[in-house]
Amino acid sequence: MTMLTVSVYRYNPDTDDKPYMQDFQVDTEGRDLMVLNVIMMIQEQDASVVFRRSCREGVCGSDGVNMNGRNGLTCITPLSQVVKNNKLVLRPLPGLPVIRDLIVDMQMFYRQYESIQPYLQNNTTPPAIERLQSPEDRDKLDGLYECILCACCSTSCPSFWWNPDKFVGPAGLLQAYRFLADSRDEYTKERLARLDDPFSVFRCRGIMNCVSVCPKGLNPTHAIGKIREMLMTQAT
């Protein structure tokens, strides 16, 4: 028997006055399980524990959770990466309202994503087959389009914690740059005009929490720097 102590954030607004931490003992049999497996074993012990999950292979982005103080996807995070002193603390993603247990309300996150208009805007009549891009132009989208919107980055960003209604956040800004960098998009000027206020982009203080937690290894800080460069080029 190899017992692991897992402390889980519990909150059910229907029955609890306030959130509390509940400890569970899980027998891992010495295996280096993924955190998601451990949460499912906990749910077998207590069916009232709720969490989000879907693809269980780091593609859908629904199981973002704070594990021992660090945001990540439970399905692709092995215990060996997060467990300290045989203890694991699981909390919902910080900074967003908790719906129940490990489930957060992502509305503010999606609203910021929506604000950057995450779709191609082009008024030129499309050619018969498709809008072509040179391989070089296509390369510019690498490291941007891979985002799965799991919110691990934005919810580890203090600027997003304090101003989730005004600061777009790392995830939204990475996507903002994805469309600014796209050779097929014609609305660069309009997109930049919407970002040139003291909050949307410039509340980023460059502390790079987003880069350190991104489960896909992306670099929102770099994209934010590129947006600043584009704003600067346009304005000077």
Partner 1 sequence: MVTMITNLGRSGLSDWLVQRISAVVLALYTLFLVAYVLFHPGLDYLTWSALFESTAMRIFTLAALLSIAAHAWIGLWTIFTDYVKCTRLRLVLQVVVVLALFTFVIWSVQVLWGA
Q: Kindly list the residues in this chain that would bind partner 1 in the complex (CB under 8 A).
A: 159, 162-163, 166, 193-203, 228, 231-232, 235
Task: Provide the minimum distance between the beta carbon of 136 and partner 1 in the complex, in angstroms, as a whole number.
Answer: 28
Show the tokens assigned to 107: 């509305």
Of the pair 85, 236, the CB lying nearest partner 1 is at 236
Task: Provide the minimum distance between the beta carbon of 17 and partner 1 in the complex, in angstroms, as a whole number.
Answer: 24
Rounded to whole angstroms, the Cα distance separating 62 from 51 reads 9
- Going across the sheet that includes 20-27, the strands are 20-27, 3-10, 87-91, 64-67, 70-73
Task: Provide the minimum distance between the beta carbon of 139 and partner 1 in the complex, in angstroms, as a whole number.
Answer: 27
Task: Provide the minimum distance between the beta carbon of 227 and partner 1 in the complex, in angstroms, as a whole number.
Answer: 10
Point out which residues pair with 26 in neighbouring strands.
4
Task: Provide the minimum distance between the beta carbon of 163 and partner 1 in the complex, in angstroms, as a whole number.
Answer: 7
165 touches 101 (CB < 8 A): no
Task: Provide the minimum distance between the beta carbon of 9 and partner 1 in the complex, in angstroms, as a whole number.
Answer: 24
Q: Does residue 213 sit in helix, strand or coil?
A: helix
Of the pair 142, 197, the CB lying nearest partner 1 is at 197
Residues ≥6 apart with Cβ < 8 Å to 155 = 64, 66, 71, 93, 94, 95, 96, 104, 109, 161
Of the pair 22, 117, the CB lying nearest partner 1 is at 117
Rounded to whole angstroms, the Cα distance separating 108 from 227 reads 22
Distances from the Cα of 116 to the Cαs of 120, 150, 194, in angstroms? 11, 17, 8
Of the pair 74, 159, the CB lying nearest partner 1 is at 159
Of the pair 27, 196, the CB lying nearest partner 1 is at 196
Of the pair 211, 230, the CB lying nearest partner 1 is at 230
